[in-house]
Amino acid sequence: MVMNTPIVIDKLLEDPNKFDPAWFHFIKLKSGKYTPSINKAKSREEAIFSWNWTHEQFFGKRVLDIGCNDGLHSIMAEQWGATEVIAIDCFERKNTRFIIDHFDSKVKYYVMDICDREQMKSLGKFDTIIFCGVFYHLIDPLAAIFNIRDLLINNGGTMLFESWANSDTLSNMEFIAETHHQAPVDKSCWWIPSNVFLEQFLAKIGFKLSYAGFGDGPYSSRWSAHALYNDKTEIMNKNMGR
């Protein structure tokens, strides 16, 4: 989907007294104007299509959006027919509250850490979990993936995964030191996994990929996948004391 219409930013949303210092998502408001996203090079709506998300992954589903930031994906899940949407982020954001109000949305937004097992268990089970742009920010990505696996319903639960990645043919995940040649400006990035690593990592934890793609997102060097949860591996992990 290519956007041909001129993009008009809603400058009122840049008021530092009412909003957070930076908007992450590029969200089309009811007025037709857009939030002043730091990522406006390419629309996030466009990105969602490049990740091959389908309405079926949301319609009639209970959805969790992890690291929701301004809430674009949560609002979209609701508009695509999700019965309930829970949005979590490790930070409280005025922008997210504004977006939920703006769309008269029923999305429930909580400040929570995906690595916190007890907090996560309190949310119940989900049909679809959005886990985009968060993996490489986590101090404990393994704990997060196990938590996500356990939050998904058995046989049919789907994680919509997206991460910064490199296209190395080796299965590895590099620690991003300040001096790393790919170190981003954003110092909250800890890791850069290879796409081969991500495939093998998710498989070992019990996910079966129905789709995987490299590149083509709103940024370069990104890997996205639809990962279906398969409960047979859960039995294996229980035997291993997990």
Which residues are at the interface with ligand SAM (CB under 6 A)?
24, 66-67, 69, 88-91, 113-115, 132-134, 137-138
CA dihedral 143, 205, 175, 25 (to 10 degrees): -70
Q: Judged by CB, which is closer to ligand SAM: 161, or 197?
A: 161
SS3 call for 46: helix
CB of 236 to ligand SAM, least distance (A): 26
What is the closest distance, in whole angstroms, from the C-beta atom of residue 169 to ligand SAM in the complex? 26
In degrees, rounded to 5, the angle at the alpha carbon of residue 70 between the alpha carbons of residues 69 and 71 is 90
Q: How many C-beta neighbours within 10 Å does residue 31 have? A: 10
User: Of 192, 189, 221, 195, whose CA–CA distance to 209 is shortest?
Assistant: 195
Closest CB to ligand SAM among residues 112, 231: 112
Identity of residue 26: F
Q: Please tell me whether residue 24 adopts helix, strand or coil conformation.
A: coil
What would the two tokens of residue 166 be?
A: 């490199």
Residue nearest to ligand SAM (CB): 67
Min CB(69)–ligand SAM separation in Å: 4
> Any bridge partners for residue 64, and if so which?
86, 129
CB of 142 to ligand SAM, least distance (A): 13
Nearer to ligand SAM, 184 or 232 (CB): 184
CB of 115 to ligand SAM, least distance (A): 5
Residues 229, 234, 235, 240, CA torsion sign: positive
Which of residues 91 and 175 has its CB atom nearest to ligand SAM in the complex?
Answer: 91
Q: Which is nearer to ligand SAM, 39 or 230 (CB)?
A: 39
Q: Which of 99, 67, 60 is nearest to 86 (CA)?
A: 67
Give whichever of 84 and 219 is closer to ligand SAM, judged by the CB atom: 219
Whichever of 133 and 206 has its CB closer to ligand SAM, that residue is: 133
Q: Minimum distance between the CB of residue 70 and ligand SAM, rounded to whole angstroms? A: 8
CB of 110 to ligand SAM, least distance (A): 10
Question: CA-to-CA distance for 198 and 135, rounded, in angstroms?
Answer: 10
Strand 173-175 relative to strand 158-164: parallel, antiparallel, unpaired? unpaired
